Structure 1
């Protein structure tokens, strides 16, 4: 099963989304957005940018 984005409204009235893996595990959670359109734009940004994103190790 493919992953999916789930969009909902939180208790404060903000729109949020989770990215879930095919097994149902949450692998990413968004910030709160004032509008549904903004939340959907955030999903689109993840779709466009994540595939080519670098992995950077931060040493402490």
Structure 2
């Protein structure tokens, strides 16, 4: 089984996505809610496009806004 993007509406009525590993573990989240499903799907396409180009930036001591439990906080897709 391969990783999968799970698209869903949260309890506040916003569209979200999660990238889940084959074992169901959440590997990444969108970090924000979208007002419509189409915008959410566009962000999935964006991640699919840029992820192969991403480099690993190893931080010696990440600040409090850099990481929290493995999820990036305060980041928006443009």
The two structures have a TM-score, normalised by structure 1, of 0.90
* TM-aligned CA deviation for residue 24 of structure 1: 1.0
Q: Secondary structure at the match of 1:2?
A: coil
Question: In the aligned structure 1, how far is the partner of 2:20 from the partner of 2:51?
Answer: 15
**What's the CA shift for 1:51?**
1.0
Q: Quote the RMSD (CA, aligned, Å).
A: 1.0
Match status 1:47 vs 2:35: no
Task: Please identify which structure carries the higher helix content.
Answer: 1
Structure 2: how far apart are the matches of 1:13 and 1:21? 25
Deviation of 1:21 after TM superposition, in Å, equals: 0.6
**TM-score if structure 2 supplies the norm length?**
0.71
- How many residues were matched structurally? 60
Q: Mark the runs of 5 or more structure 2 residues left unpaired by the alignment.
A: 62-78
Higher-strand-fraction structure: 1
User: How far off is 1:57 after superposition?
Assistant: 2.2
CA distance in 2, matches of 1:56, 1:28: 16
* Structure 1: unaligned runs, 5 residues or longer: none
